[in-house]
Amino acid sequence: SAEGYAFAHRRDDLWELEQDRVLAHYPLPEGIVLGTELAPFEETLATVPQTLCLASGERSPLALTLSAGAQNPSYRLRADWNASIELDVRQAATAAWIRWKQQP
């Protein structure tokens, strides 16, 4: 949800939220918001997970964008189904995403 995140597992035909303390629902700190631009709202989104991570290491592709306002850089993490992960940065003055390289 926009207020936090949680982990779920499949039991029979239902998704159940994890009750483990580490994996339980986690509210986001004030000023941080989760949102999606890729999936249009549908009633099923409330009961069907949007990101799937399997114990084998496979997962559904995802893109996570972090930004702190128009004057700050934005970061985008992209993960493919086969464990490929890329991190990009977009400076406030530009519209282009650039591959982020960690400084030594």
Q: What is the pLDDT of residues 24-40, one digit of tens each?
A: 788 888 777 666 555 55
Q: Which range marks the domain in which residue 86 is found?
A: 54-104
Paired with 79 in beta bridges are: 62, 85
45, 78: one domain: no
Distance from C-alpha of 10 to C-alpha of 50, rounded to nearest angstrom: 13
Q: What is the mean pLDDT of the chain?
A: 75
Residues 59 and 97 in one domain: yes
Computed on alpha carbons and rounded to an integer, the radius of gyration of the chain in Å comes to 16
Last residue of a domain, one of 16, 33, 50: 50
CA–CA separation, 23 and 26 (whole Å): 8
pLDDT at 8 (0 to 100): 82
The answer to whether residues 35 and 61 belong to one domain is no
Its pTM stands at 0.48
81 and 39, same domain (yes or no): no
43 and 63, same domain (yes or no): no
Residues 41-89 pLDDT 10s:
556 555 665 677 776 767 778 888 888 777 778 888 888 877 678 899 9
Q: Count structural domains, the chain.
A: 2
Phi and psi at residue 65, to the nearest 5°: -110, 130
